């Protein structure tokens, strides 16, 4: 639990360090033996810690990339789902096996129906069965699958591309994506108008459009 709290706090302080993008990689899985000793009260306390970490990732103002080298199960897969972009090794395996050990999948498993569709989410959470990386890609659970030896270079290349973009525009875009999750379509469209106007107060449109115009004129 201490690690969850520390990680959640670190996410909350990113703004102070000028972070442009963030990569989260796999960590040690949860200890089933230890979890078997939980009571109702301690179980709720534990799962709230994981909820806060996953929600911290979702609310982090910069793009978050999930690095998935191998197994992504249960809470680990929920943490990956909370990220903005997921890149997996071709050898990765994915699953939500909670029902096989007597508990339901909760908290950020709620993201799966909108991420991969209701039918696929039903299968994943009700059966507890695993899927491979190619299936995860076909379902939209991950954005990209690469050979294991190419995983780090692929993520570093993406991170560099993101860092080259306007940081204010990226933060605005992530803010809009989170708001669009709950707003009705018409409200989401109208809400975007204000953000578009605010972008021109950052100086980024003028800089990037100016550079584009200069490059075009030089051809």
Q: Which residue out of 55, 98, 195, 204 is catalytically annotated? A: 98
Q: Which residue out of 6, 34, 44, 78 is catalytically annotated? A: 78
CA 69 to centroid of chain Cα atoms = 15
Query: Please, is 95 exposed, middle or buried when counting C-beta atoms within 10 Å of its C-beta (0-12, 13-18, 19+)?
Result: buried
Contact of 77 with 142, CB cutoff 8 Å: no
What DSSP string describes 104-148?
A: ---GGGGGHHHHH-HHHHHHHHHH---EEHHHHHHHTS-SEEE-G
**Is 78 annotated in the active site?**
yes
The helix/strand/coil state of 182 is coil
Neighbours of 160 (CB within 10 A): 11
d(CA 110, CA 115): 9
Sequence-separated (6 or more) residues with CB below 8 Å from residue 200: 206
**Is 98 annotated in the active site?**
yes
Side by side, the strands of the sheet bearing 85-89 are: 22-25, 64-68, 85-89, 144-146
What is the C-alpha end-to-end distance of the chain, expressed in Å?
57
Catalytic positions, please? 78, 98
């Amino acid at each position: 639990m201490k690690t969850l709290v520390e990680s959640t706090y670190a996410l909350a302080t990113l703004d102070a360090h000028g972070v442009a993008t963030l990569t989260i990689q796999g960590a040690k899985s949860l200890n089933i033996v230890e979890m078997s000793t939980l009571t109702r009260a301690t179980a709720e306390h534990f799962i709230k810690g994981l909820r806060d970490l996953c929600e911290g990732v979702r609310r982090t103002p910069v793009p978050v990339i999930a690095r998935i080298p191998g197994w992504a199960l249960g809470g680990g897969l929920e943490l990956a789902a909370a990220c903005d972009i997921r890149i997996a090794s071709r050898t990765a395996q994915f699953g939500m096996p909670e029902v096989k050990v007597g508990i339901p999948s909760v908290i950020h498993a709620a993201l799966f129906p909108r991420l991969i569709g209701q039918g696929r989410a039903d299968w994943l959470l009700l059966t507890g069965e695993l899927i491979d990386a190619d299936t995860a890609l076909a379902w939209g659970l991950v954005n990209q699958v690469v050979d294991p030896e190419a995983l780090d270079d692929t993520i570093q290349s993406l991170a560099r591309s993101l860092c080259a973009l306007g940081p204010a525009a990226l933060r605005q875009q992530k803010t809009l994506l989170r708001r669009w999750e709950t707003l009705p379509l018409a409200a989401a469209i109208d809400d975007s108008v204000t953000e578009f106007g605010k972008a021109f107060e950052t100086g980024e449109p003028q800089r990037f459009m100016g550079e584009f115009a200069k490059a075009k004129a030089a051809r």
